Amino acid sequence: MIEIHIDDRDVLTALQDLQRAAGDLRPALAEIGETLIESTKQRFSSKTGPDGQAWPANSPVTIERKGRDQPLIGETGSLMDAIHYNVISHDTLAVGSPMAYAAMQQFGGTKAEFPHLWGDIPARPFLGVSDNDQAEMLDILREHLEAALR
C-alpha cells in the first residue's frame, strides 16, 4: 500500500488569514475612505463631478457676491474641508459632509421648492465614485487580501 501524506498547514493558515482579512475589511475601508476624500477634494479644483462632467458655472449674481467664479468654494472652503469618512462596520463605509447645505449643492434645488434660496441652485455633484476611484478601491482591496496571504 502506498501512503501519501500532505502537509497542508500552509494552505490552511493562508485560508484562515484570508478569511480573517475578508471578514474584517475595516483597514481596507479606512484606506478607501482616505482615497475618496482626496479624490472628492480634487473635484473642487477641477470643478467636475465623479462622472467627469463639468459643474455649471456660478451665476453672475453669485460671482458678483463672492468676487470670483469658484463653485462650491466659499471664503473658508468649509464644505470641501468638511468631507470625511466613517467606517461604520466591518463591511460598511460612509463618505460625506455634515454641512447643512451639502445635499443642496450635490443635488441642486429651485427657489420654488426652497423659498429661502435667493435663486435656483444647479446640481454640482462632488460626492460619488469615479472610474479612477473604483479602480483604486479594487487595488486597495487586492493589496489587503494579498497581504493576508503573506
The continuous run of DSSP H or E covering 86 comes out as strand 84-89
pLDDT block averages, 10 residues each, the chain of length 150: 60 70 82 95 94 90 77 74 92 88 90 83 93 92 80
Q: Which of 69, 50, 74, 47 is nearest to 58 (CA)?
A: 69
Q: Is the pTM of this model over 0.75?
A: yes
Residue 37: half-sphere exposure toward Cβ, Cα within 13 Å: 16
- Domain residues for 132? 9-149
pLDDT of residue 75: 62
pLDDT of residue 31: 95
pLDDT of residue 117: 79
pLDDT of residue 11: 64
95 part of a folded domain: yes
68 part of a folded domain: yes
pLDDT of residue 86: 95
Q: How many domains does the chain have?
A: 1
> Which triple of cell numbers denotes residue 64?
458678483
31 part of a folded domain: yes
pLDDT of residue 127: 93
What is the distance between the alpha carbons of residues 32 and 88, in angstroms, rounded to a whole number?
A: 13
Residue holding cell 462632488?
126
135 part of a folded domain: yes
